[in-house]
């Protein structure tokens, strides 16, 4: 045991300021680069410092690389979300247009009296009657052959599908008028055959290249006390280039899956009702494979007649959508663009009395009309939400890209500085 005096002397003798700092440095050889009493050679100490510096550089480099990779993954994630939402918005927009067309075209006729149906039925008979007025035409003669039982097995009708005006129906009188005017009388009266053999059956020629009046439709005309007046058009389905795209899934009318026109903002032009080729209704007898190559009447005949002809509600809306019109457009109030840049002005002359008949069946029934309106409202709401989500994702994408570019510049600057630093360290650590 120490006495009180001894403890007091120890307390007084122990002075931290009196400790030799050089002795502490020497006691840790790792921190003594000068050697002194260190058992380690000077070169080993310098190598340790060099390794520590190099390790720090590579550690920081790895961290920056990892940060860049994470930001790149974020960018990809937001880009995928934006792409998905754009596709969703376009699909919803297409659905909205389809429902608006369905509602708009039939809104006026939805609750009319049932006796209107008889008036529509007569429209098909009227089309035939108007064709028969052109008694010196091939179309009138073929309609006579098809309508009378005594000619039901006539050779001329074996390959003939019919006359263009009788092969489709529309559900609006204005649409019937404008589409008939767009095609013109000669096309509306054109005879449609399945194959080139049917074309040969209609008309034969002598060795001198003259028309053989004793065969084909000329022979039939003579037997009826008539003669064909001038030329007539015959459309051979076998020789037409068919529509190459797909059909709308589960559509009973087998309509073509055409891309709807888009304005610069991605929206469908206001007033767009649809494509003429899809607005013609085809009877079930001609709805499926009608050509030898297996294509439908819509994919062959009507696609070649109309191509991507767009239909608008009004002339003003049609003119406002010119940037989206690739092949032509018409409007229900008489607007007509046969080709981009070529406008047909003036009043309808009323000289085309052969029109497509109006459909006797209503597009929708009153029972599901309100359901269609509710679906339209719901789809509009979904489109608005998708647009909001897309804008939000775009903002996140822009922010992630900005951070990526900032981090990339930091990484490039770090590489330049660390490269210079490592070069200097390498020179110092290299033995002379």
pLDDT by residue for the chain (432 residues), tens only, comes to 444 444 333 333 434 333 333 333 333 344 344 444 444 444 454 454 455 566 676 777 778 788 888 888 888 998 999 899 888 888 888 888 877 776 665 554 444 444 444 444 447 788 888 888 888 888 888 888 776 655 566 677 788 888 999 899 888 888 888 999 999 999 999 999 988 888 888 888 888 888 888 788 888 878 877 777 778 898 999 899 999 988 888 888 889 999 889 888 888 888 898 899 999 998 877 777 676 677 889 999 999 999 999 999 889 999 999 999 989 999 988 889 988 777 777 666 556 778 888 875 544 344 455 567 667 778 888 888 888 898 888 999 999 889 888 888 888 887 777 776 666 655 555 554
Torsion of CA 21, 27, 32, 36, to 10 degrees: 90
CA angle 318, 344, 135 (to 5 degrees): 120
Tokens of 397: 């994408």
- In sequence order, what are the beta bridge partners of 292? none
CA angle 399, 402, 406 (to 5 degrees): 140
Is residue 235 in a domain? yes
What is the pLDDT at residue 414?
77
Do 304 and 357 lie in one domain? The reply is: yes
DSSP, res 153 = T
Is residue 375 in a domain? no
Do 277 and 403 lie in one domain? The reply is: no
Do 219 and 171 lie in one domain? The reply is: yes
Do 194 and 78 lie in one domain? The reply is: no
Rounded Cα distance, 100 and 107, in Å: 10
What is the pLDDT at residue 289?
65
Do 295 and 394 lie in one domain? The reply is: no
Residue 381 to residues 99, 267, 374, 384, Cα–Cα distance (Å) = 14, 15, 11, 5
What is the pLDDT at residue 235?
92
Do 154 and 298 lie in one domain? The reply is: yes
Rounded Cα distance, 364 and 106, in Å: 8
What is the pLDDT at residue 119?
43
What is the pLDDT at residue 423?
67
What is the pLDDT at residue 54?
61
Rounded Cα distance, 198 and 236, in Å: 8
Do residues 297 and 290 lie in contact, with contact meaning Cβ atoms separated by under 8 Å? yes
Place of tokens 């194959």: 195
Cα 383 off chain centre by: 16
What is the pLDDT at residue 365?
43
Residue in 331, 355, 353, 357 with CA at minimum distance from that of residue 344: 331
Is residue 20 in a domain? no
Residue 399 structural domain: 73-107+387-427
What is the pLDDT at residue 40?
43
Do 305 and 224 lie in one domain? The reply is: yes
What is the pLDDT at residue 369?
57
Do 213 and 282 lie in one domain? The reply is: yes
> What are the DSSP calls for 343-389, one per residue?
EE-S---------PPBPSS-SS-HHHHHHHHHHHHHHHHHHHHHHHH
What is the pLDDT at residue 350?
55
Rounded Cα distance, 69 and 75, in Å: 10
Is residue 213 in a domain? yes
Do 402 and 279 lie in one domain? The reply is: no
**Cβ partners under 8 Å of residue 354, min gap 6:** 127, 130, 131, 134, 165, 180, 185, 188, 189
Do 280 and 233 lie in one domain? The reply is: yes
Do 122 and 101 lie in one domain? The reply is: no
Do 415 and 299 lie in one domain? The reply is: no
Residue 86 to residues 78, 92, 322, 391, Cα–Cα distance (Å) = 12, 10, 23, 10
DSSP, res 115 = T
Is residue 161 in a domain? yes
What is the pLDDT at residue 142?
84
What is the pLDDT at residue 114?
42
Q: How many domains does the chain have?
A: 2
What is the pLDDT at residue 19?
33
Is residue 396 in a domain? yes
Is residue 3 in a domain? no
Is residue 394 in a domain? yes
């Amino acid at each position: 045991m120490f006495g009180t005096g001894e403890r007091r002397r120890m307390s007084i003798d122990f002075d931290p300021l009196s400790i030799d700092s050089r002795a502490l440095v020497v006691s840790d050889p790792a921190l003594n680069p000068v050697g002194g009493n260190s058992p380690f050679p000077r070169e080993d100490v310098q190598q340790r410092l060099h390794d520590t510096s190099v390790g720090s550089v590579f550690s920081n480099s790895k961290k920056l690389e990892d940060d860049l990779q994470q930001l790149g993954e974020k960018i990809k994630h937001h880009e995928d979300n934006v792409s998905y939402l754009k596709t969703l918005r376009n699909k919803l927009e297409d659905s909205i247009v389809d429902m608006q067309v369905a509602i708009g075209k039939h809104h006026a006729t939805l609750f009319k009296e049932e006796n209107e149906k008889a008036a529509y039925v007569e429209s098909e008979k009227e089309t035939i009657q108007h064709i028969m007025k052109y008694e010196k035409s091939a179309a009138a003669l073929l309609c006579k052959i098809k309508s009378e039982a005594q000619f039901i097995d006539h050779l001329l009708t074996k390959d003939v599908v019919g006359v263009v005006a009788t092969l489709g129906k529309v559900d609006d009188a204005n649409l019937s008028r404008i589409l008939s005017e767009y095609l013109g009388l000669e096309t509306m009266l054109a005879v449609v055959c399945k194959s080139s053999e049917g074309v040969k059956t209609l008309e034969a020629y002598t060795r001198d290249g003259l028309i053989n009046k004793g065969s084909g439709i000329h022979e039939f005309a003579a037997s009826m006390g008539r003669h064909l007046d001038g030329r007539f058009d015959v459309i051979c389905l076998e020789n037409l280039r068919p529509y190459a795209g797909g059909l709308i899934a589960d559509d009973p009318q087998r309509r073509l899956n055409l891309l709807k026109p888009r304005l610069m903002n991605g929206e469908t032009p206001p007033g767009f009702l649809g494509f003429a080729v899809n607005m013609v209704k085809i009877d079930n007898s001609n709805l499926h494979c009608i050509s030898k190559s297996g294509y439908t009447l819509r994919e062959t005949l009507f696609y070649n007649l109309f191509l991507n002809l767009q239909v608008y509600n009004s002339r003003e809306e049609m003119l406002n959508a010119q940037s989206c019109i690739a092949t032509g457009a018409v409007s229900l109030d008489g607007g007509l663009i046969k080709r981009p840049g070529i406008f047909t002005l003036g009043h309808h002359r009323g000289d085309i009395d052969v029109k497509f008949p109006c459909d006797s069946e209503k597009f929708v029934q009153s029972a599901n009309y309100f359901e269609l309106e509710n679906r339209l409202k719901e789809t509009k709401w979904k489109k608005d939400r998708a647009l909001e989500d897309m804008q939000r994702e775009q903002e996140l994408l822009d922010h992630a890209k900005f951070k990526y570019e900032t981090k990339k510049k930091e990484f490039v600057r770090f590489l330049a500085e660390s490269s210079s630093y490592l070069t200097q360290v390498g020179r110092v650590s290299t033995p002379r």
